[in-house]
Amino acid sequence: MTRFAAPIAEQIWDSKYRLKQADGTPLDLSVEDSWRRVARDLASVEADPALWESRFYAALEDFKFLPAGRILAGAGTGRDVTLFNCFVMGTIPDSMAGIFEALKEAALTMQQGGGIGYDFSTIRPKGAPVRGVAADASGPLSFMDVWDAMCRTIMSAGARRGAMMATMRCDHPDIESFIAAKQDSARLRMFNLSVLVTDAFMQAVRDDAPWNLQFGGRIWHTLPARDLWNRIMRATYDYAEPGVIFIDRINRLNNLHYAETIAATNPCGEQPLPPYGACLLGSVNLARLVMAPFSPDARLDMDALDDLVRVAVRMMDNVVDASRFPLPQQAAEARAKRRIGLGVTGLADALMMLGLRYGAPDAVAQTRDWMRAIARAAYLASADLAREKGAFPLFDAERFLASGFMAKMDEDVRQAVRDHGIRNALLTSIAPTGTISLYAGNVSSGIEPVFAHAYTRKVLQKDGSRTEEEVADYAVGLWRELHGDAPLPDHFIDAQRLAPMDHVAMQAAAQEWVDSSISKTINVPRGISFADFKDVYLAAWDRGCKGCTTYRPNEVTGSVLSVSESSEQAPQADRGADVVYLTEPLDRPPTLEGATYKLKFPGSEHAIYITINDIVQAGQRRPFEVFINSKNMEHFAWTVALTRMISAVFRRGGDVSFVVEELKAVFDPRGGAWIEGRYVPSILAAIGGVIERHMIATGFLAGEGMALKSDPKADMIAVGESPRGPACPACGQYGLMMIEGCKTCPSCGYSECG
């Protein structure tokens, strides 16, 4: 009997977390082997490894505790990878040498698989004088472009691209350019952007007061605070970035307020971290702890939750000692503070099992109670660990207990910390759990609502064909097991029908008892008014959130999968799904198969060489890029232009065979030529013929003359159809979901966040 609740879960385990030899031969023969490998490795630092291996295995069993992907994939493998998910890098010096030393550190960190965050506020603004070289500074955004290019070339451990967060203070002179940077959908693709918003700025917005942009003690510009706030809001309304981080609130409530200043977060925002700060993540699966689901006696097993949290804290604390680190500064920082980020997943499913509607007042209250219980258990467990193994090295009882978060903690917890110290400076965080939630049977992700009750997923078979399978939400699947085809109750709400303020209420309730932060995306409808959209951010500020990220479908970033009005139906692609325009091109793999063709057009002095490289997408080989070269310098400009235009079309996806017919239809008024017994009206038509023959040879076209006569999407675009979401770089399927700030593929489980 398989432990997996759905085929997608087993496929995620096999592709991401299963230990294999370099040739692909599995070393973990079952998921139990994976659990045993992780439990044994994390117990190896204990005085009694056998005892704790057994307890750690029990926590992992049946997906009750879900360490983040880095731990599942890396623990016990002996590989030179970090088990930490994310880092904030060192403060960037305002010098050329310092900037590029920081770039090198970033590359080394991403090479081992860590996502990184940076505060670019320390770099002087564009136009500032650079002493000694008689030049003006290019500004922080120019260096962000360098970081972005670096990140594109570094493949993170676990076969995924690195992720980065860039922050900038709301009073930096280049903040307006930072806000507008993502208006160009091709720029800074590897970054999430967030503005560091201060208490003073929010007060200035309330008061409609002027706001100074300054650097190095000099005021560069003054503008109305509301004007700057509206620019932030308009940017994220139009193209989903930047996010907002309430940085003063983060520092004020930080348990380590006396030992560090935070100016950046990890890529998804749930971990505000100091320079060289590192954090590991893990989640308690609340959906697995519900007793008597969907009945009048339904409840969460609070004793089991308490025990699971205590074991999870110990496991994660051991990761600090078991993990490698890309840089020695990161190891020193992690061991001095022993920060961990224990969170939850399956919250929305657990609420549905108890008959509670996500976002309703009773669900908000229940969420607050559960998060408080988790915080209590985690802090008491860490105090017990301190009694056994010692407090974190920078622990200062008086100043730690005076922090904003500890001030509201129950007195018995405060007394335990006072008596024994505490092992971990910070303990709780709610991270994106897209992939591990699929691995656990498609439970709802983090504290997000259920995105859709079910959807259809295409599965690539060994012979290259694709079959379809339904992927149901965990709670929906359990309901069907218990109640057959009975209609879903009204409280089974999904993200498509949820009011934005319900999102805010849930995030704020959870944040009360989370000492770090929360990764959450507030999905809002395309038609929301700008005024209502701004109110979401003000509500997040007023209710105590540490940040706010929204997603509104738009022309720059595309839209998420659409879901039919019937909650029982799967998300459906937009009409015209055979041809989809990508909002961003697919990343180029390191190697591609292709062929080079020599074309000698009569009357031309030099031959033209046409190279066509292909990519395998959805089991089919298809053209990905073209290179057209000739020694004839008269051809140089148009061959370069044609190379770029055709390659851009090929990379957008869909049936691009119409390119062949468009080229073959071009005639030269000076006359064409006879080639191999047929009349070709122009050299461009001859190039079209070469591309056609290549498409036939690779199976993309069935035969000559069978290409589309025109772009099948052109008419739809003319009347303003919204683009769908981008294609998955792993499997090629279209319509990535935006969940918790991460693009997540419903077809293969790929996530930019791990």
Q: What pLDDT, on the 0 to 100 scale, is given for residue 678?
A: 81
What residue ranges do the domains of the chain occupy? 86-253, 593-715
Say how far residue 365 (Cα) sits from the centre of its chain.
Answer: 28
> Residue 578 has what pLDDT?
35
384 Cβ neighbours under 8 A, 6+ residues apart? 310, 416, 420
Q: Are 376 and 314 in contact (CB under 8 A)?
A: no
Q: What pLDDT, in 10s, does the model give residues 586-638?
A: 566 767 888 899 888 887 778 898 999 988 765 668 888 899 988 777 777 88
> Which percentage of the chain shows pLDDT scores above 90?
61
In three-state secondary structure terms, 423 is coil
Mean of pLDDT over the chain: 87
pTM of the model: 0.77
Pairing of strands 466-472, 522-523: unpaired
Q: What is the pLDDT of residue 711?
A: 65
DSSP result, 537-552: HHHHHHTT-SEE-EE-
| Parallel, antiparallel or unpaired: strands 164-169 and 115-119 | parallel
Q: What is the pLDDT of residue 105?
A: 94
Please give the pLDDT value at position 452. Answer: 86
Instruction: Output 335 or 554, whichever has higher pLDDT.
Output: 335
Which position among 192, 254, 266, 613 bears the catalytic label? 266
Instruction: Respond yes or no: is residue 266 known to be catalytic.
Output: yes
| β-pairing verdict for 737-739 and 164-169 | unpaired
Q: Is 148 exposed, middle or buried (0-12, 13-18, 19+ CB in 10 A)?
A: middle
| pLDDT for 722 | 37
pLDDT, tens digit, for every residue of 700-723?
Answer: 887 888 777 666 555 433 333 333
Q: Looking at this protein, which amino acid is placed at residue 139?
A: G
Residue 671's pLDDT band (cuts 50, 70, 90): confident
Instruction: Summarize pLDDT for 146-202 with one digit per residue, the tens.
Output: 998 888 777 543 445 568 999 999 999 999 999 999 888 778 888 999 999 999 999
The percentage of residues in the chain with a pLDDT greater than 70, rounded to a whole number, is: 86
Q: ω into residue 242 within 30 of 0, thus cis?
A: yes
Q: What pLDDT is recorded for position 717? A: 34
**pLDDT for position 447:** 96
**Tokens at residue 528, please?**
């929301």
Across 731-745, b (16+ Cβ under 10 Å) vs e yields bbbbbbbbbbbbbbb
Find the radius of gyration of the CA atoms of the chain. Answer: 27
Judge whether 270 counts as a catalytic residue.
Answer: yes
Q: What is the pLDDT of residues 104-162, one digit of tens each?
A: 999 988 887 778 999 999 999 999 998 877 789 999 999 999 998 888 777 543 445 56
pLDDT in tens, 244-256: 999 999 999 999 9
Give the pLDDT band (50/70/90) at residue 661.
Answer: confident
* 45 band by pLDDT with thresholds 50, 70 and 90: very high
Gap between the Cα atoms of 150 and 705, Å rounded = 43
Residue among 105, 241, 260, 270 flagged as catalytic: 270
pLDDT value at residue 728: 66
pLDDT at 259 over 80: yes
- Which of 86, 170, 268, 728 is the catalytic position? 268
Q: Quick check: is 745 catalytic?
A: no
pLDDT band at 501 (very low <50, low <70, confident <90, very high): very high
Confidence of residue 727 (pLDDT cuts 50, 70, 90): low
**Cα 157 to Cα 154: distance, rounded to the nearest angstrom:** 9
Indicate whether 99 pLDDT > 90.
yes
Confidence (pLDDT) at 732: 55
Q: Could you tell me the pLDDT band of residue 572, with boundaries at 50, 70 and 90?
A: very low
